[in-house]
Amino acid sequence: MLMMLCSRSQRKEEEAETLLTNSIRYGPHFADAYSSLASLYAEQKRFAEANEMYLKGIENCPDSPDLHNNYGVFLVDTGEGQLAAAHYQEAIRLMPAHYVAMVNLGRLLRSSNKNKEAEIWYKR
């Protein structure tokens, strides 16, 4: 029974990967597809592919604040906090009311003991 569940789950992930890859192929300016595919890769511990997908997404959709924010989350999760801060800030620049990016930036600053700077982003 467990093998059937694993196999079914794996098939669903493979199907999702195929659909997202096709979405990107036919609509290369669909930021959500890049983000979703990168997230799928990250969940599968395929970090290099996830990183590459985020970068491709940003190259093709540079004005997507959500893509920058999601890449920032990925970078924090993979130990690249300094680089993450730049992507959170870019998300906020692109969408000044991107509250999720502001909170993420505040958390990142707080974890680096930059409490005064973090407080500014939390209040904003």
Of 40 and 3, the structure prediction assigns the larger pLDDT to 40
Calpha distance 78→59 (Å, rounded): 21
Calpha distance 36→42 (Å, rounded): 10
| pLDDT tens-digit readout, 21-73 | 877 888 778 899 999 999 999 999 999 999 999 999 999 999 999 999 999 99
Of 42 and 17, the structure prediction assigns the larger pLDDT to 42
Q: What pLDDT score does 89 carry?
A: 95
Of 41 and 124, the structure prediction assigns the larger pLDDT to 41
pTM: 0.85
pLDDT at position 78 over 50: yes
Q: What pLDDT score does 3 carry?
A: 47
Domain architecture of the chain: domains with CATH? 8-61 (1.25.40.10), 63-124 (1.25.40.10)
